[in-house]
């Protein structure tokens, strides 16, 4: 059946119409639905501009994603490319052009943009377009994974702090870098993210009962982390000399440290440690817990992961445990039946 309204044609199959009268009746109903804007082929479907969708996504992210501020640079990259595009103009081939454009771009650190970063940006775009489909601003999502396949990412780096490296690193926390010692110990003894540590407030620390409550995590759920004896000593000292509601506060500004990258890099240089970033301290905490035989589910709860697969990614076995495993294979001997002893057989009576 074909209906024309304002020089625009709409098609609809009516297999249930078995007579001319049924077809006329179905056509009248179809025309009424089009005029009332209830039919799925509404005239304005896909006309929304991408920047309007970005506004809607940011409202969604603010309400549902704890780390939405951190992804704004990725949202801005998408906005710069797709701005003034209508949603119906965003096709799989245009998305591929965006990815090629990003491959030829440089990051804020003047380094080539990695495939992993492009995949994160594509995932955000996919979520945006899903929101458009859910709200009937678009008919279908052109960024589904079967149409826009993820780019191959580099193998995940395995780096955790060795015991001797930890000793050297902590020993260099002196003079102007003294404030870094409790921050590093907190990271190594809780597995907390850098942002969670720097924004931790005293109302979330219960030294007497011995746990820290972490809020506003990526999963949107609170989690309680036990305080180790080593960390407890550091927290007690900080509490006695507190100057702010923040646990790790700058004594001058009384505000949390915005970032500690420069100080951390200085410590690494002084301790002669290479290839380490602050996030590897979280990796180190996970690896040590797993190597000590702690159940992965428990590690998952401490780290605040939404699924066990993410926890397994952090929990690489240390080389010593790998060597123990291979030595166990080398020393394994199958049990042998002593010679001269007859084997017992079960005989039915």
Residues 87 and 195 in one domain: no
Is residue 275 included in any domain, yes or no?
Answer: yes
In a domain, 336, yes or no: no
Question: Quick check: is 147 in a domain?
Answer: no
Q: Pairing state of beta strands 205-206 and 8-11?
A: unpaired
| 170/114 same-domain check | no
Query: Which residue from 134, 126, 247 is spatially nearest to 185, judged by alpha carbons?
Result: 247
Question: Which helix (H) or strand (E) covers residue 127, if one does?
Answer: helix 115-134
Asked whether residue 322 falls in the same domain as residue 178, the answer is yes
User: Does one domain contain both 172 and 65?
Assistant: no
pLDDT band at 335 (very low <50, low <70, confident <90, very high): low
Structural domain includes residue 301: yes
Model-wide pTM > 0.85 = no
State what percent of residues in the chain have pLDDT above 90.
48
Pair 180, 317 in one domain: yes
Other beta carbons within 10 angstroms of residue 104's beta carbon come to: 8
Kindly report, residue by residue over 165-181, the tens digit of the pLDDT: 999 999 999 999 999 99
- Please report whether residue 338 resides in a domain: no
- The stretch 85-114 carries a mean pLDDT of 91
Residue 279 lies in a domain: yes
Structure tokens at 349: 């009576």
Whether 29 is covered by a domain: the verdict is: yes
pLDDT bin (cut points 50, 70, 90) of residue 260 is very high
- Let me know whether 197 and 168 are in one domain: yes
Residue 218: predicted pLDDT: 60
Question: What is residue 43's predicted lDDT score, i.e. its pLDDT?
Answer: 56
CATH of residue 267: 1.10.443.10
Query: Does residue 112 sit in the same domain as residue 183?
Result: no
Of 213, 207, 205, 186, residue with least CA distance to 197: 186
Pick the closest to residue 217 from 245, 191, 246, 238 (CA basis).
191
Q: Tell me the DSSP string of 277-341.
A: -THHHHHHHHHHHHHTT--HHHHHHHHT-SSHHHHHHH-PPPHHHHHHHHHHHHT-----PPTTP
Q: 250 and 290 share a domain?
A: yes
Higher per-residue confidence, 205 vs 67:
205
Same domain? For 312 and 214 the reply is yes
Q: What is the pLDDT of residues 53-62, one digit of tens each?
A: 999 999 988 8
Which residue in the block uniquely carries the two structure tokens 């109302």? 203
CA distance 273 to 159: 12
Tokens, residue 109: 């650190």
Which is nearest to 79 in space by CA: 59, 105, 49, 107?
A: 49
pLDDT in tens, 11-31: 555 555 566 676 676 767 666
* Residue-level length of the chain: 349
**Model pLDDT for residues 139-156, shown as the tens digit of each residue:** 899 999 788 998 887 766
State how many domains the chain has.
3
Same domain, 99 and 68: yes
Same-domain status, 276 and 200: yes
Confidence of residue 84 (pLDDT cuts 50, 70, 90): very high
List the domain range (segments joined by +) for residue 246.
Answer: 163-327
**Residue-averaged pLDDT of the chain:** 83
| Same domain as 216, residue 322 | yes
Supply 294's token pair: 């702690």
Residue 334 lies in a domain: no
pLDDT grade, residue 191 (50/70/90)? very high
């Amino acid at each position: 059946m074909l209906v024309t309204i304002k020089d625009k044609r709409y098609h609809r199959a009516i297999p249930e119409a078995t007579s001319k009268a049924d077809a006329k009746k179905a056509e009248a109903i179809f025309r009424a639905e089009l005029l009332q804007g209830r039919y799925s082929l509404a005239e304005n479907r896909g006309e929304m501009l991408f920047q309007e969708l970005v506004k809607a996504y940011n409202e969604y992210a603010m309400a549902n994603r704890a780390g939405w501020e951190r992804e704004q640079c990725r949202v801005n990259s998408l906005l710069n490319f797709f701005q003034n595009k209508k949603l119906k103009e965003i096709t799989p081939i245009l998305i591929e052009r965006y990815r090629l454009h990003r491959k030829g771009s440089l990051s804020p650190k003047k380094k080539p943009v990695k495939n992993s970063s492009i995949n994160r940006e594509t995932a955000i775009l996919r979520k945006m377009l899903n929101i458009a489909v859910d709200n009937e601003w678009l008919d279908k999502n052109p960024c589904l994974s079967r149409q826009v396949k993820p780019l191959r990412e580099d193998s995940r780096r395995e780096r955790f702090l060795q015991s001797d490296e930890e000793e050297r690193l902590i020993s260099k926390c002196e003079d102007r870098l003294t404030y870094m010692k409790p921050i590093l110990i907190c990271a190594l003894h809780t597995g907390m993210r850098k942002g969670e540590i720097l924004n931790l407030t005293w109302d979330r620390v219960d030294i007497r009962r011995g746990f820290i409550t972490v809020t506003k995590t990526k999963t949107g759920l609170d989690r309680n982390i036990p305080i180790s004896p080593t960390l407890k000593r550091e927290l007690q000292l900080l509490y006695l000399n507190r100057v702010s509601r923040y646990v790790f506060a700058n004594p001058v500004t009384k505000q949390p440290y915005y970032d500690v990258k420069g100080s951390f890099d200085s410590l690494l240089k002084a301790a002669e440690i290479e290839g380490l970033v602050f996030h590897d301290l979280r990796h180190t905490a996970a690896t040590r817990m797993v190597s000590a035989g702690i159940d992965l589910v428990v590690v998952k709860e401490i780290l605040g992961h939404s699924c066990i697969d993410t926890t397994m990614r952090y929990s690489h076995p240390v080389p010593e445990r790998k060597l123990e495993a291979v030595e166990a294979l080398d020393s394994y001997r199958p049990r042998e039946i002593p010679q001269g002893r007859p084997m017992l057989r079960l005989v039915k009576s």
